[in-house]
Structure formats: structure tokens, C-alpha cells
Amino acid sequence: MRQNATAWPPSPELQIYKPLLPEEAKQENEKLPFSTAPLERALPLVLPSQDLQLIGRRNAADCLTSAIYYEAGNELSQGKRAVAQVVLNRVRHPAYPKSICGVIYQGAERKTGCQFTFTCDGSLARRPSRDRWEQARVIALGAISGVVEPSVGMATHYHANYVLPYWAPSLDKVAQIGTHIFYKWKGSWGRRRAFSQAVQLDNESSAIPNAIEFLPVAEDTNSVTPQPDKVTSRIIADEQNLTDALITPSSKINAPGISEIQADQKRPKLLIDEKVIVKD
């Protein structure tokens, strides 16, 4: 039987790690070979910013910012963009939820088995650094405005190099950026044509856990504080002019048989607070 011939997508693997010391895990990770198959570049994702859809866009930006901050806060900009790209890849794959917040918080209600460990390991109780949060926010805004990180291709999985998930040998290892190693599904489920799921917006405030509802604190320059019932308010990264350069959304890729998702049909004009990137 042809691999992945089934009409059903694979089930997401649980984030369960082999009982190895960090150095042992690094050695085992180095033994896993990289895939030699060419990397397919993901299509740009543009979430609409029209008034009726702005809440959903901001919710998506909030969730994506939290993932970038807690998963890749110590990485350089490329490492942050790579983590964001995995989220965007997942949201388009039929194996995962259809919204950015849904993807990030999948399994967060469980003590173990969440898809992104920061959602269930207590990390959200940590008070975030204002500067790093702002950097993560800028990366998130770029990602939902069409910026593509090509170095990870269609990757849907990653982990730190000092741990080794049980699922790692079953996927194609495609890249290592900083301390993170990235993987894609084997066979047809890891090809770009499989990423055909229509993306939905989380327009309800209940879609976002209270733990990530962050707002700036003017008198404190080092952190931001969670504020319930404020999910649609902008955090400080959106209000300040952090100009370094303009975000230039990646050019669209013409791929036969691949249709863009509904959110990509109309490219909205970037909001003024989104026309920035953070350089390494």
C-alpha cells in the first residue's frame, strides 16, 4: 500500500520525552540524519484586518506572541520566525485545529500531552520580559501578515536539542535553528499540497486563556502584567514605533493544485504598527 494513502490525516504525537540526560539527548539527536528531500516553502498566511475580523486577528496575534515568547524567547529572530512558521503550518494541516489559538492550546487542559509544553508546564505563570515580549509580538504580526520563514519548509514539529521525543525518529528531520530541531510528516502528509485546511479566526475572547491576556504597564519598563477581560486591547509592541525596516511579505508561490485559504484571498493593508521587524 502506498504510504499515507489513507484519507485520514495522522494523529498529532504527544510530547513525551525519552528519559535521557541533556547531553545524552544531544548525542542521540545528532545521530538522527537530516532529510535529503528538497524543502517546500510554505504559502504566505494573511489574516484579514477589516473591522469585523479585527478581534479574531488580534486574538491570533496574542496567541502566536505567547508561543514565540515562551517557546523561543531566547532564540534569535530566525529561530522565533521558525517557531511561528510551525504554528502556521499546523493551522493549515487537517491533522490540527483550524485556528492559531486552537493549534497552540491543543491539549492544554491536560497535565501532560499538550502540543506546546509552555501551555501546561506552568510557564504561563512566569511574568514576561517586556522587551522580549515586544520582539515576539513583532514576529507574530509579521507571520500573520504574509512573512514566511523558508528554512523549516512544511515543518509541523520541533523540540529542543537537549530532549528527545519518542516521535522524533518517525518524522523527517529538516532543520536545526539555534537549539530547536524541526521535523515534517513523512510521505504525502508532509507535502505542501496536504496543507489545504481553511483557517478560521478566534473571534470569541473565550478562545484565549486568561494567562496570555497581557497589557503594558507604563510605570514598569521591564514587564507586562496579565489583565483579565482585555483580550482585544493592544499590548505595547503595537503602540510604539519600533522602526527598523518594513515587513516585506514573501511573494506568493504559484503551485498547481494548491488554493489559498479564505483568509489569504484579500491582502489587507498592513496596520501601521505592523510595519516593523526586529533584526538580530
What pLDDT digit, counting tens, does each position of 126-183 carry?
788 889 999 999 999 999 999 999 999 999 999 999 999 999 999 999 999 999 999 9
C-alpha to C-alpha distance for 157 and 173, rounded to whole angstroms: 9
Q: Which DSSP category does 242 fall into?
A: -
Residue 5 lies in a domain: no
Q: Considering the domain boundaries, does residue 7 fall inside one? A: no
Q: Please compute Rg for the chain using Cα positions.
A: 18
How far apart, in whole angstroms, are the C-alpha atoms of residue 44 and residue 252?
Answer: 7
The alpha-helical segments, DSSP class H, found in the chain are 22-31, 54-72, 77-91, 100-104, 130-143, 236-239
214 φ/ψ angles, rounded to the nearest 5 degrees? -95, 140
Evaluate whether residue 17 is within a structural domain.
Answer: no
Say which DSSP state 173 is in: E
Query: Which domain does 233 fall in, by range?
Result: 22-274
The Cα 3–Cα 274 span in angstroms is 42
Domain presence at residue 64: yes
Report in angstroms the alpha-carbon separations of 26 from 161, 167, 264. Answer: 5, 15, 39
Percentage of residues in the chain having pLDDT higher than 70:
66
pLDDT in tens, 234-278: 333 333 333 232 333 333 333 333 333 344 444 333 333 333 333
Give how far Cα 15 sits from Cα of 100, 110, 115, Å: 19, 12, 6
Across the strands, what pairs with 159? 181
279 within domain boundaries: no
Residue 121 lies in a domain: yes
Residue listed under C-alpha cell 496596520: 271
The total domain count for the chain is 1
DSSP string, 206-241: GGS-GGG-EEE-TT-SSBEEE-TT-TTS--HHHHS-
The pTM of this model reads 0.74
Within-domain flag for 12: no
Which pLDDT tens digit goes with each residue over 173-227?
999 999 999 999 999 999 999 999 999 998 876 666 654 444 433 233 333 333 3
Asked if residue 10 is part of any domain, the answer here is no
